[in-house]
Each structure stands twice: as C-alpha cells, then as structure tokens.
Amino acid sequence: MTKNLQNRLLYQLNFLKSIGYEYGQSINLQNSNNEQLELPNEINQLDELVKNCYLCQLSKYRENVLFGSGNINSKIMFLKESPTVSEDEFSTFYVGKSGDLLKTMIEKVLKVNVNDVYITNIVKCISPNNSIKHEHVNFCKSYLDKQIEIIKPKLIVILGESVYRYFTNETRAFSEIRGKVIRNNDLDIICTYEPSFLLRNPSSKGEAYEDLLKIKAIMEQM
C-alpha cells in the first residue's frame, strides 16, 4: 500500500469515527478523497475533522493545524495562504511579525477586535519553505468551501496575490484588482497586500491603508 493510499484510508477512518461510525462501512480506496465525503455542517466538528487530516504531505511537517479563528457569525472573513512558523508553533493566528501587523491593520484601521472577524487559510498546514503547491490547495479546498458555507461571510478579504490566484484561478494582474470588490462564484471578495509583503515592501503600506479604508466603509454599510 502506498503512503498516499494509507493517508487517504486514515482520513476516511478518522472521518467515520468523528461522525459515530465504528469502521463498519466499506471504503472505496480507488476513488477516495475528501470531496466524496459529506463534511459536517457544524464548525467545531469540521475543525476536529481537519485536525485529523493526513491527505497530503504537508501533514508531516505541521505541529498544529490552523483551521480558523474568530467570530463564526462575522460578516467578514480574512483569507491567508498558510500558517506561518510562529502560528504553527503556538497554534494561533496573529503571532510573529506578520501576525502582529495584521492585527494592527484590523484593530487600528478597521476599528474592530480580531475576535470579531473570522480568519482562515487556503491551506491549513505549514509548508516547508512556503512551497505551497496546487495539490495542497486542492486537498484543502473542500474544507475551505465548507467553512464559507457555514459562516456565510458578506465579504472575503484576500491577503496576497498567491491567495487570489489559488482562490479564483484567475490570471488578471494583481495590480488591476487590488482594492476592488469583485464578484467571484456568488461571493464578494476584495484583495489587498499580505502582511509579510508589507514588511518587505513598506512603501506599499499606503496602498494597503487605502484598501482597508474601503473595507471599513463596506463593513459600516453591512
């Protein structure tokens, strides 16, 4: 049995256990993937399921799974690419230099507590050297789709160009869409720079500030 097949089998066993089964159902190993299974409609159950996911190779690098954090009734969702080293170590968002900057952006400009918004990642596990691949995104896609379905945000704030491309599969230049509300698959999204980019390119903080003011105005109208 290959390692990939073992991971898929373990995933299905964990899923069945989480919803009350005692491994009594037959498992189709030929077509096994997370899209075949009906994911739970309760956020804590989904969180627990994702914590036991071993579908891709990123699972072996993680210390913790960064599923999501904040108010599940929030009308705004922030979407990052993947956990940082600090987030993986401490099992929480808003740590490290980029986390501190993002917290400042939310609380000082948007004027809301980070606990009043919801934040999650495209990929739930840390990756070595930030080497996110499309296969990793694809394995996590069903989890993210279900999170969005449960939380029902009015606006998703996309943090960074890579997240924009993974989320939309679009090829338009980031400079063309940054700071604009875009309709994507029945969802309103708005893109701005990721905090790590701003730390490397402080000259772009002015543009990010303008984006945040637009987001603030939208939030005030919700």
| pLDDT given at position 12 | 54
Contacts of 189 (CB under 8 A, 6+ apart): 155, 156, 157, 158, 167, 168, 181, 182, 183
Q: Which residue has the tokens 């507590």?
A: 113
Residue 59 has pLDDT above 90, yes or no: no
Two tokens at 155?
Answer: 């606006």
For the chain, percent of residues with pLDDT exceeding 90: 67
Between 168 and 6, the more confident residue is 168
pTM of the model: 0.82
* Domains, in order of start, for the chain: 56-221 (3.40.470.10)
Q: Which residues touch 102 (CB under 8 Å, ≥6 apart)? A: 78, 94, 159, 195
Tell whether the model's pLDDT for residue 13 goes beyond 90: no
pLDDT at 6: 47
Q: Which pLDDT value is given to residue 118?
A: 98
Please choose, from the candidates 218, 79, 59, the residue with its C-alpha nearest in 3D space to the C-alpha of residue 139.
59
The pLDDT of residue 32 is above 50: no
Neighbours of 32 (CB within 10 A): 18
Banded model confidence at residue 71, pLDDT cuts 50, 70, 90: very high
Which are the contacts of 138, defined by CB distance < 8 A and separation ≥ 6? none
- Among 129, 107, 97, smallest CA distance to 196 is for 97
pLDDT (mean) for 137-162? 94
- Identify the residue with better confidence: 36 or 67: 67
Q: What is the side-by-side order of every strand in the sheet holding 181-184?
A: 68-70, 118-121, 76-80, 155-159, 187-192, 181-184
Conformational region of residue 152, where left means phi above 0, alpha means psi within -120 to 50, and beta covers everything else: left
- What b/e string do you get for 209-219 counting C-beta neighbours within 10 Å, with b at 16 or more? eebbeebeebb
What's residue 58's pLDDT?
84
Check if the beta carbon of residue 11 is closer than 8 Å to that of residue 34.
yes
- Write the CB contacts of 20 (distance below 8 Å, at least 6 apart in sequence): none
Judge contact between 72 and 151, C-beta under 8 A.
yes
Q: Please give the average per-residue pLDDT across 49-56, as a whole number.
A: 89
Half-sphere exposure (Cβ direction) of 188: Cα atoms closer than 13 Å:
13
Is the pLDDT at 7 greater than 70, yes or no? no
**Is pLDDT at 183 greater than 50 in this prediction?**
yes
pLDDT, residue 56, reads 84
Question: According to the model, what pLDDT value does residue 62 have?
Answer: 92
Tell me what pLDDT residue 4 has: 47
Residue 161's pLDDT is 94
